[in-house]
Every structure is written in structure tokens, then in C-alpha cells.
Copies of this chain bind each other. A is one copy, B any other.
């Protein structure tokens, strides 16, 4: 390990010179005096890795060691700390982080997919070689979510962690609610505005939020949560009608990540949820993220801010760098591996508890409700409320939308009920099942 004496500069090798990489370099330079004072020593970029040497990135990169192969930062003798901003769970990012930790070289990473999928292996390397692995920027951008869960709430037994973890989805759902427009239309607009990628799947299918939730849950429970145990649903099936019904019912629709500890085990899921208007998280709109943590002693706290962008993400990366320079050393999941139990019992989706919202289209004739409520009764699901829109006889429509909300139940029972309801001859088209969370 090549970390030098505390007064000498901490020398950084930055892999990946996209928006975030350039943001980090800019922040380190613009706030150099302040960062040196807070870190107790200068933080100086000595090396970078990126493929295109010729592109003008708006910052002066002259005099730095330039590597075409990011993995070379793991052994560059002028580098004390590797900052991995490449992204992706495999390939160059994984190779670099593995090599650096294996050399006993500390790593700062903003890579949620890498930490979510390979966190356990990397935590092992970090411990074995005494090299810190910090990743504040991997979750919720500038919101210090990792630090809050790993340090601020370290003394409490956390019962729940999660929140609005994807700004793209929150922007789309907010705009759909405010304008009444359809998903596809708003997605296209978000892509034009740069809030959504050309291939939007990682965001809108819930994977990005699930990566972040996996990390938060692992920290909250002190043990790696397997990514494969996360139930993931995105927002493609949310219709303008769902947002309108949610409003009429006194709710808002959010893509929520939820990791909850129950007596039976741990539930970890991402999906579109109705949350009551009065819940603080219901008020978090647009591209903003919010992280909720709930503990036996602390009650519920919520952190809100920008979850992406060069400035917020650079703030998180540089905070990790200052911690490292200050000599802070905390195990990857807040405890040494295996200290709080090496296995966490994640419940399969059918064993998750909760309340549900179901929207379906039914023929407007006598007996339909009796058939549906009988199916709920037979599956042990208790109804809380119902909205049936009167048929507009002038429209010539043959079916009417029906919305049902349930009390707490098992998802397995709910899925059974939905399957039987879908088979009723009076039910037509797609049934939209969403969760209801108390916020």
C-alpha cells in the first residue's frame, strides 16, 4: 500500500472521464483550498484512464499519466487511490477494482451495478488486503445515504430502508401526473431533455433502483443481500388512468425501492407504488431522489436531494476521498464479513406482505362485483375500497374501469386472486396490480 505520510498529497487515479469524472476533477480544482483544509492534505489527480485522448473535455488534463487500459491504474506507482467511474458490473470496471483492492490500494467507486452484483466478493478483497472500498456516489448522488445508514444510524436496528432511487422514473411519473399524458409520450420527452437514456431500460425497468436498493439493504442489515433476491418491476405498465385514480384516492404514484425486515425474513423489492399524499415521500417530485430509513430507536428519517448529475455525484466521490484522507476506515457493509450473520433470509415475492391496488376493465352488468369479491374472499384478501366509473353510454364502450384497494395481505394470495379474476369472462384486457405503501 503506497499511501504516504499524512501531510503529503493523496494521489488519485481517475478511471472514466465522462460527466462524473470531469465533475470530480473540476471540484477538486475549484475547491482545492477548502478540500485540502478538510482532508488535512491536498488531493491531487496524477493519472487518468479513458479511451479517447483527443476529445476536448473542457478541463486541462496535461501532465497527467494517461492510461488507455484502466486496469493499469491499479499498479501506477504515482497513484494512491483509484477512483472508478467507468460503470457497468463487468468488464474494465470490475477488473480495475479487483486488481486495485488486490494490491491493497483503496478504491472509490460510483458504480452501483458493480457493488450490487459483486459487493460480497469485493468486500472480501477489501478486508483481506486492508484497502478501503467506498461508494457514496453509487446511491442517490449527492444525498449522503450510504454514510447515513452505515454511520449515522449504525447503533439502531433498521427495520426498513429504501425510497425514490431513480430520478428518471420520478421525472416521468411526475410529468404524467401533472400533464395527464401517456408513458410513451413522456419518455420520449425525457429522452429529448437528457433525463432518460436512448436505451432507457436500466432506468425504467427498475434495475438501476434495484442496484441502489441492494446496496442500501446490505448496509442496513450488515450483510450482503443477493441481487437475485430483489423483486424488480419498472414503470412501463403504469397508465395515465392509474395516476388519475391514485389522485382521486388521495395517493401519488412513485417507483419505490423497499427493503423491510419482518419476523419471517427480509423483503426486498422495487416497483411502482401508491403512497398517501400526506407521506413526506409523496411530495418528492421531478428528478429528485429520496432515501427513507426507519429504525426501532430513531423512528423514520428521510433524505432528499439530487440523485444524479455531475455536481451532486462529484460531491459524493470527493466526500469519500476526504474520509479516506482523514484516515476513516469502515468495513464495506459497516461490519466485518460474517459478523452479523453471513446469510440473510430474503423472502420470495409471494411471501411479501402489503396492501394492493388493482385496476381492471369489466363489463358493466349485474353480478360482476359479486364474482370478484367472492374470489378475494376465497383467497383471504380483504378489500378496503373500490371505485367504479359509471359507463358513458354515448361512448359506445363495453367495459368500465374498476379499481380495488386491499388491506394488508400476502402477495401470493393477491396474485392467486388476480389470476382467477383475469379468467372471469366479464373481465377484459390487462389487469394492473400495484402496491400501496404507507410512505
Contact = CB atoms under 8 A, between A and B. Distances in A.
Interface of A: 23, 27-28, 31, 33-35, 37-40, 136, 142-144, 147-148, 151-157, 222, 280, 283-284, 295-306, 309, 311-312, 314-316, 318-319, 321-323, 326-330, 334-336, 339-340
Given A297-B314, A297-B315, A144 B148 contact: yes
Secondary structure type dominating chain A contacts:
mixed
A168 B133 CA distance: 41
B315 A295 contact: yes
Contacts of A222: 34, 37-38
A23 B299 CA distance: 14
A60 to B, nearest CB: 19
A298 B151 CA distance: 20
15 contacts: A31-B157, A31-B297, A37-B335, A38-B154, A38-B335, A39-B154, A144-B151, A147-B147, A147-B148, A148-B148, A155-B315, A297-B311, A301-B304, A303-B303, A328-B328
Contacts of A305: 298-302
A154 B336 CA distance: 26
Say how many copies of this protein the assembly contains: 2
Nearest to A311: B297
A433 B385 CA distance: 47
Contacts of A136: 152
B298 A155 contact: no
A148 B334 CA distance: 17
A312 B297 contact: yes
A150 to B, nearest CB: 8
Given A154-B318, A301-B304, 8 more contacts: A28-B155, A31-B156, A136-B152, A144-B152, A155-B314, A155-B319, A280-B304, A298-B315
A36 to B, nearest CB: 9
Contacts of A31: 155-157, 297
